[in-house]
C-alpha cells in the first residue's frame, strides 16, 4: 500500500520517523492522514492501493485514494468502511483523489462526493473578498445529499484549498 507516511511508520503505532514527523510538523500531512494510513494498512496490508489524503468535517471523514482503488478500499459489501466507521465514530466516504487544476477536477470531485445528488456544474465566482467556487446542485436532489450541505462545503473547501459553496438551482 502506498501512503503519505513510510512503510516503517505504517507498521508502528505511536511514533513517526524523523522524516514523517517533519512532514506532520510542516503541515504536509495531518494527524488524520497518519491515523487513516495505519488503519488502512491494517485492513489492506500490501494490496496495490494508494491512500492519498483524508479530510474531515462535522461527522464525515472523506478518504481519497488512487485511480480505480475505491472498490478495494471499501471492501466486499462495504466491510472495510464499516470497520473504519466503527473505529472513527464517524461516517466515512471513499473517493478518488485528484490534483485540482480548475473547475473540471472540482466537478469530478463534487460529483463523487455528493452522489447520489447530481452536480450540474461548477462556476468560478470573483467576489470582493476573493475567488471562490460554486457547485451547482439540482434543487430536487437537495434531499439526496449524503451529509449536511455545510459539512460538504467544508470538506470540498479543504480539498480544493479555496472556498467552495453549494448552490441549488
Ligand atoms: Zn516514516
- Domain identity same for 119 and 88: no
pTM strictly above 0.85: yes
- Domain identity same for 58 and 81: yes
Write out the DSSP string of 76-115.
GGGHHHHHHHHHHTSEEEEEE-----SHHHHHHHHHHHHT
Centroid of ligand 1 to alpha carbon of 23 (angstroms): 10
Q: Residue 126 pLDDT > 90, yes or no?
A: yes
- Domain identity same for 78 and 134: no
Q: pLDDT band for position 14 (50/70/90)? A: confident
> Which cell numbers hold the place of 93?
466516504
Average pLDDT of the residues of the chain: 96
Q: Residue 74 pLDDT > 90, yes or no?
A: yes
pLDDT for the residue 18: 97
Nearest to 32 by CA among 52, 13, 53, 12: 53
Domain CATH number, residue 153: 3.30.300.20
pLDDT for the residue 119: 97
User: How many structural domains is the chain composed of?
Assistant: 2
**Residue 2 domain-assigned?**
no
| Domain boundaries, position 129 | 103-168
For 39, phi then psi, to 5°, come to -65, -45
Cβ burial 38-69 (10 Å sphere, 16+ → b, else e) = bbbbebbeeeebbbbbbbbbeebbbbbbbeeb
For 110, phi then psi, to 5°, come to -65, -40
User: Last residue of some domain: 96, 130, 156?
Assistant: 96
User: Last residue of some domain: 96, 128, 154?
Assistant: 96
**Residue 147 domain-assigned?**
yes
C-alpha to C-alpha distances, 116 to 17, 66, 104, 142, 143, nearest whole angstrom:
41, 21, 19, 10, 10
- Domain identity same for 110 and 86: no
Classified as helix, coil or strand, 27 is coil
Centroid of ligand 1 to alpha carbon of 66 (angstroms): 20
pLDDT for the residue 1: 94
Centroid of ligand 1 to alpha carbon of 10 (angstroms): 7
- Domain identity same for 16 and 77: yes
pLDDT for the residue 13: 87
Centroid of ligand 1 to alpha carbon of 25 (angstroms): 13
**Residue 32 domain-assigned?**
yes
Q: pLDDT band for position 110 (50/70/90)? A: very high
Amino acid at each position: 500500500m502506498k501512503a503519505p507516511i513510510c512503510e516503517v511508520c505504517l507498521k508502528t503505532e505511536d511514533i513517526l520517523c524523523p522524516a514523517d514527523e517533519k512532514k506532520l510538523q510542516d503541515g504536509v500531512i495531518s494527524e488524520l492522514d497518519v491515523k487513516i494510513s495505519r488503519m488502512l494498512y491494517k485492513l489492506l496490508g500490501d494490496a496495490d492501493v494508494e491512500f492519498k489524503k483524508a479530510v474531515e468535517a462535522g461527522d464525515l471523514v472523506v478518504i481519497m485514494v488512487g485511480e480505480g482503488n475505491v472498490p478495494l478500499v471499501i471492501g466486499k459489501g462495504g466491510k472495510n468502511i464499516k470497520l473504519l466507521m466503527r473505529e472513527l465514530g464517524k461516517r466515512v466516504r471513499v473517493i478518488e483523489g485528484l490534483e485540482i487544476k480548475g473547475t473540471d477536477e472540482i466537478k469530478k470531485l463534487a460529483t463523487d462526493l455528493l452522489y447520489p445528488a447530481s452536480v450540474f456544474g461548477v462556476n468560478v465566482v470573483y467576489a470582493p473578498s476573493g475567488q471562490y467556487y460554486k457547485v451547482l446542485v439540482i434543487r430536487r436532489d437537495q434531499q439526496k445529499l449524503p451529509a449536511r450541505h455545510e459539512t460538504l462545503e467544508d470538506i470540498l473547501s479543504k480539498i480544493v484549498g479555496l472556498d467552495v459553496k453549494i448552490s441549488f438551482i
